[in-house]
Amino acid sequence: MSPDFLLTQLLNGIQFGLLLFLMAAGLTLVFGIMSFINLAHGSLYMVGAYVAATTYVHTESFSLAVVASVAGLFVLALVLDRLAFAALQQRDHLQQVLATFGVVIFANEAVRMVFGNAPVYLDAPAALSQPVSILGFNYSAYRLMIIAAGLLVALALHLLIDRTRAGMLIRAGASNRKMVSALGVNIGWLNSFIFALGAALAGLAGAIAGPILSVQAGMGEPVLILTLVVIVIGGIGSVRGAFFGALTVGVIDTLGRGVMPTILNALLDPSIAGAVGPALASAGVYVLMAAVLAFKPDGLFPVRYT
């Protein structure tokens, strides 16, 4: 195993982690502040990817595709919130799970009807299609762009949440939404804004994931479930927790798949390693989650003090 290979795997892990962060940051706020369990967040991601792919086909501009996806999802979320989700927030968790489960089923099949079963391809922009060389080490320029974008969003969210008045309300809402409402803040507007912000980030994630993952119906759910793991590890409602949780999950998942088989091959009989390796690699993230919960049931960065 060469150092270059390890470094590539590590960077891939960070890149995947930051993609998960884009999903988790919005969803953890929706869970934490609105106390709304939204299984359809993966569908927003899928819709984002399709909006980007469709825009790209018509304009051949990747930046326009990203902008269309982010803006489109922001607006779509505001509409969805008005139509149905605001009413759902008043219901109990079981009804939210069922209703958003119904939305997921609908969205996947609707996409299949419109775009067919075959994956849609979205090309990375030409400027980023060649690998870049850093001190003699080659790495995909596009993936570096994802890392940069993820870090930028993390910084922007940090500034929004820790430095602005809206952010103060978000933090207050995460720890006790009833009290915030009682102090005269229009929690309905705050909810709509957070929901739309989360959807826009999911749209961004879908758009930039397009060129490295296949855009197809049902693409949202594997990402959604890893996002849930991130949120549980990080602590519901904590953007900081989502950031560190996402990086941990991304790196462990990627290294588990990329590096673990090699290590196991060296330690075990190849036939056993071949059978156990993939199983351990795919289960690694969940073992981590179980371990975190066994010691810290509220996650690594708990915010809710009720």
Residue 228 touches other proteins, criterion: CB under 8 A:
yes
Residue 246 Cβ, how far from other proteins at the closest point, in Å?
Answer: 15
Residue 133 Cβ, how far from other proteins at the closest point, in Å?
Answer: 36
C-alpha distances in angstroms, 274 versus 237, 252, 277? 39, 19, 6
Rounded Cα–Cα distance for residues 123 and 53 (Å): 9
Residue 231 touches other proteins, criterion: CB under 8 A:
yes
Are 217 and 245 in contact by the 8 Å Cβ rule? The answer is no
Binding segment for other proteins (CB under 8 A), chosen from 174-182, 185-193, 207-215, 224-232, is 224-232
Binding segment for other proteins (CB under 8 A), chosen from 53-61, 143-151, 165-173, 227-235, is 227-235
Residue 112 touches other proteins, criterion: CB under 8 A:
yes
Q: Which of 57, 105, 168, 182 binds other proteins (CB under 8 A)?
A: 105
Dihedral of CA 145/149/154/156: which sign? positive
Rounded Cα–Cα distance for residues 32 and 226 (Å): 17
Which residue number, 200 or 289, has a Cβ lying nearer to other proteins?
289
Are 176 and 305 in contact by the 8 Å Cβ rule? The answer is yes
Residue 293 touches other proteins, criterion: CB under 8 A:
yes
Determine the length of the chain: 306
Residue 93 touches other proteins, criterion: CB under 8 A:
yes
Which residue number, 106 or 137, has a Cβ lying nearer to other proteins?
106
Cβ atoms within 10 Å, residue 35: 17
Residue 199 touches other proteins, criterion: CB under 8 A:
no
Are 242 and 28 in contact by the 8 Å Cβ rule? The answer is yes
Residue 101 Cβ, how far from other proteins at the closest point, in Å?
Answer: 4
Are 14 and 196 in contact by the 8 Å Cβ rule? The answer is no
Structure tokens given for 145: 């762009």
Token pair 């961004």 is at which residue?
204
Q: What is the largest CA-CA distance in the chain?
A: 66
Residue 32 Cβ, how far from other proteins at the closest point, in Å?
Answer: 9
Q: Which of 20, 25, 49, 107 binds other proteins (CB under 8 A)?
A: 107
Residue 306 Cβ, how far from other proteins at the closest point, in Å?
Answer: 11
Q: Which of 31, 56, 85, 139 binds other proteins (CB under 8 A)?
A: 31
Residue 91 touches other proteins, criterion: CB under 8 A:
yes
Residue 278 touches other proteins, criterion: CB under 8 A:
yes
How far out from the chain centre does Cα 204 lie? 10
Rounded Cα–Cα distance for residues 28 and 26 (Å): 6
Positions 142 through 171 that interact with other proteins (CB under 8 A): none
Cβ atoms within 10 Å, residue 217: 22
Rounded Cα–Cα distance for residues 154 and 25 (Å): 9
Residue 236 Cβ, how far from other proteins at the closest point, in Å?
Answer: 6
Binding residues for other proteins, rule: CB under 8 A, are: 31, 35, 37, 84, 87-88, 91, 93-99, 101-110, 112-113, 221, 225, 228-229, 231-232, 236, 275, 278-279, 281-283, 286-287, 289-290, 293-294, 297-299
